[in-house]
Amino acid sequence: MFERVFDVDVAAGEAELRAQVEQLERLKSVAAAAQARVTALWAAKRRAAEQAAGVPVRRRGKGLASEVALARRESPSCGNRHLGFAQALVHEMPHTLAALESGVLSEWRATLIVKQSACLSIEHRRELDAELCADTSRLSGWGNHQVEAEAKKIAARLDAAAVVARSAKAAADRGVWIRPAPDTMTYVTFLLPVAQGVAMYAALKREADVTCDGRSRGQVMADAAYERITGRPATKPVPVALNMVMADTTLAGDDTEPAWLDGFGPIPAGLACKLTGDAATDTKVKATLRRLYRHPSSGQLVAMESRARIFPKALARFLQLRDQRCRTPYCDAPIRHCDHATPVRDGGPTSALNGLGDCEACNYAKEAPGWQVSTTDIDGEHHAEYRTPTGAVYHSTAPPLPGPPVRRRLSLIEGQLSIDLVTFDAA
């Protein structure tokens, strides 16, 4: 049966292909519902096992969310959402689960319903579930926004105080994020209370309304935001630490290998050289260069070691440059902690080999009972192995540094160091 579902008949007509697309979409919803049931059962068995083992209540279930995310090949930061979604559906929202199993709801739309009901009591959550999803025919044709809006409306009617309290609490989650965009651009996202966010947007819009210099409204608003935050004109070189890594040959113009910009990722050689040139020629910007060395076969940084329990500043920076992002498989979060793979209490040294760049959530998750992390050096490549309490094993390898293929220098001892790299900081 499944073979027929997944087979693609090149001779099929358009109507048959459309029917197969619909069938596959329903199958994804059915799989998501089954995955939720399995996840909830896994959580119940883990709680029972830890209770029988005498694990304190406050430590039960620790690390399970990261295991769920790894099993789904997603970032561990998504684990809490998947785990909470599964338990809410299975134990508290049977109508939403049935709608998902029947293919009426997609996994994301079911997630939106669960999210909007999170502030409610179990009794009110079940009322919302029945009112919204007991009759699945009314969900036909609804998009993401309509599903979310209807769930939000019902929640506000059932317990307005809880919704208001949730909104007030949400202000504590305000923050700023950055992620790469196409064509060496970047997205900077602000999460603010609605009044502040609207005020910020209105101020930028007002600046665009009174500016007529050939720039588009979007360009004026973006430039104004940059200038008001940094205090410098948008046309001037960036005066903050860039932490950009590039090969010396790229800096000299001998090759066009991409550089690596901390917090962004690879950038073209031409742009990297322009950034360094602009900063170096600006008398108000202090530019510094540091020499690093790559391993001759792997292209990774060579090791450093310390006797301290806490990674010294230079060694911590070394780990951040080597690992670039959190080393847990599938996790792309920024590095927040420099951590020991083998803990110091178990004899782990404070060294580059035993060091890992982790995000905060992944560092705490691996402290749960049953987790084991080890590191090895294979031909100059830094490998990390993650073993979960259920025996699953995941691997990650530190990325090579930017630059052309590594080559040995005659002036260096065979097998030791290779091509120079340069980190460029403008401060």
pLDDT value of position 287: 59
pLDDT value of position 295: 64
Q: In angstroms, rounded to a whole number, what is the distance separating the alpha carbons of residues 419 and 427? A: 26
Q: Which residue, 416, 419, 415, is CA-closest to 403?
A: 419
Residue boundaries of the structural domains of the chain: 2-170, 175-230, 305-397
CA distances from 267 to 31, 144, 409 (A): 39, 35, 26
pLDDT value of position 234: 82
Cβ-based neighbours of 342, under 8 Å, separated by 6 or more = 348, 354, 373, 374, 375
Q: What is the pLDDT of residues 40-80, one digit of tens each?
A: 999 999 999 999 999 898 888 889 999 999 999 998 878 99
What residues of the chain score a pLDDT lower than 50? 1-2, 240, 408-420, 426-427
pLDDT value of position 365: 87
Q: What is the pLDDT of residues 202-221, one digit of tens each?
A: 999 999 999 888 899 999 99
Q: Which residue, 306, 418, 241, is CA-closest to 319?
A: 306
Q: In angstroms, rounded to a whole number, what is the distance separating the alpha carbons of residues 182 and 158? A: 43
Chain centroid offset of residue 49 CA: 31
Q: What is the pLDDT of residues 239-269, one digit of tens each?
A: 545 567 777 777 777 778 888 777 677 788 7
